[in-house]
């Protein structure tokens, strides 16, 4: 099975791969630029070449890029909406350049504009970004915890976006366990996991489930609180993660940790904790 961690790109994207190797990752997730800034620093050719060399040398794949948090394709504000589309196009170009396999995106928050209007804006934005583009990777819509006016908590909500895209071939799903649990999916229950996978298969097809974000959850089931916790120490607990990592239909999926770093060594601990659950 493949496990990885979201690692820092401080000092260059190539350094993120070195960090991943030091942690013992099989796969890795990064931001391709500052996640809280609009302006993305230009990646130079040398840095990209080194990044790719490191991936080969350390046998790390797939590469997952997480889109910046500022991007909001559901925004009712025209300036922010246009800025978000431009920023996503830029992220798409960067993902192509560095040879990523996936670009993970939170669908967006309607911030008072209403769910339906927000959803329409997300669909229009994605259609624009994908039009006449042949990507070497997939854009993965990530389920969210459902805080505030965020869209995409349930698979049904995500399906209403996905089913209205002109080109679905380049879009898939990233399932975040913390967001899922906070959004109402009881991942401690074998039956609920089965039901969830059935819905995912019906909506997207299980092969479109590109990445699992494996995060334990501080909040209660259905609390809509996006608060990640260490594997086994949250409300999903080992009870849930044991079922997830041993599920035959999830065995080939990359599991990426976005768990907190409260102390040095926490990433190593969390990786060990989740790997320990494999039977």
Residue 257 beta carbon to Zn ion: minimum distance, rounded to whole angstroms: 10
Which member of 36, 42, 45, 263 is catalytic? Answer: 36
Q: What are phi and psi of 248, to 5 degrees?
A: -55, -30
Residue 152 beta carbon to Zn ion: minimum distance, rounded to whole angstroms: 12
Which member of 90, 142, 157, 216 is catalytic? Answer: 142
Residue 220 beta carbon to Zn ion: minimum distance, rounded to whole angstroms: 15
Peptide bond into 264 cis (omega under 30): no
Task: Give the number of other Cβ atoms within 10 Å of residue 72's Cβ.
Answer: 25
Is 179 in the active site?
yes
Which member of 213, 216, 229, 267 is catalytic? Answer: 213
Is 228 in the active site?
yes
How many residues of this chain interact with Zn ion, rule: CB under 5 A? 3
Query: Pick from 157, 176, 216, 267: which binds Zn ion (CB under 5 A)?
Result: 176
Under rule CB under 5 A, residue 106 binds Zn ion: no
DSSP structure class, residue 112 = T
- 119 Rama class: left (phi>0) / alpha (psi -120 to 50) / beta: alpha
Alpha helices in the chain (DSSP H): 13-23, 45-58, 78-98, 115-130, 155-162, 177-182, 190-203, 237-245, 266-275
Under rule CB under 5 A, residue 213 binds Zn ion: yes
Residue 142 beta carbon to Zn ion: minimum distance, rounded to whole angstroms: 6
Distance, in Å, from the CA atom of 138 to the CA atom of 9, rounded to the nearest integer, reads 21
**101 neighbors 147 (Cβ within 8 angstroms):** no
Stretch that binds Zn ion, among 22-30, 122-130, 173-181, 233-241 (CB under 5 A): 173-181
Is 81 in the active site?
no
Token reading at 163 = 């089913």
Is 21 in the active site?
no
Is 66 in the active site?
yes
Which member of 47, 176, 186, 267 is catalytic? Answer: 176
Residues that bind Zn ion (CB under 5 A): 176, 213, 226
Residues belonging to the active site = 36, 66, 69, 106, 142, 176, 179, 213, 226, 228, 258
């Amino acid at each position: 099975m493949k496990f990885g961690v979201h690692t820092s790109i401080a000092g260059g994207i190539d350094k993120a791969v070195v960090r991943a190797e030091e942690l013992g990752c099989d796969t890795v997730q990064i931001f391709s630029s500052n996640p809280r800034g609009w302006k993305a620093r230009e990646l130079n050719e040398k840095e990209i070449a080194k990044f790719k060399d490191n991936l080969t040398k350390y046998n790390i794949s797939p590469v997952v890029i997480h889109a910046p948090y500022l991007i909001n394709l559901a925004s009712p504000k025209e300036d922010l909406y246009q800025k978000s589309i431009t920023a996503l196009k830029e992220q798409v170009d960067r993902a192509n350049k560095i040879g990523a396999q996936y670009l993970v995106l939170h669908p967006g928050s309607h911030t008072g504009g209403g769910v339906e209007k927000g959803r329409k804006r997300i669909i229009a934005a994605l259609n624009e970004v994908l039009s006449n583009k042949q990507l070497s990777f997939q854009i993965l819509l990530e389920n969210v915890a459902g805080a505030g006016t965020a869209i995409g908590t349930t698979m049904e909500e995500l399906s209403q976006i996905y089913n209205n895209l002109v080109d679905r071939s380049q879009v898939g799903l990233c399932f975040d366990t913390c967001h899922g649990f906070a959004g109402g999916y009881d991942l401690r229950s074998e039956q609920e996991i089965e039901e969830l996978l059935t819905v995912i298969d019906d909506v997207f097809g299980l092969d479109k489930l590109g990445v699992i974000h494996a995060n334990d959850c501080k909040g209660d089931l259905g609390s809509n609180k996006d608060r990640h916790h260490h594997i086994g120490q949250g409300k999903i607990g080992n009870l849930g993660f044991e079922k997830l990592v041993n599920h035959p239909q999830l065995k080939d999926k990359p599991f990426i940790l976005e768990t907190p770093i409260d102390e040095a060594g926490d990433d190593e601990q969390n990786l060990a904790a989740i790997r320990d659950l494999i039977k």
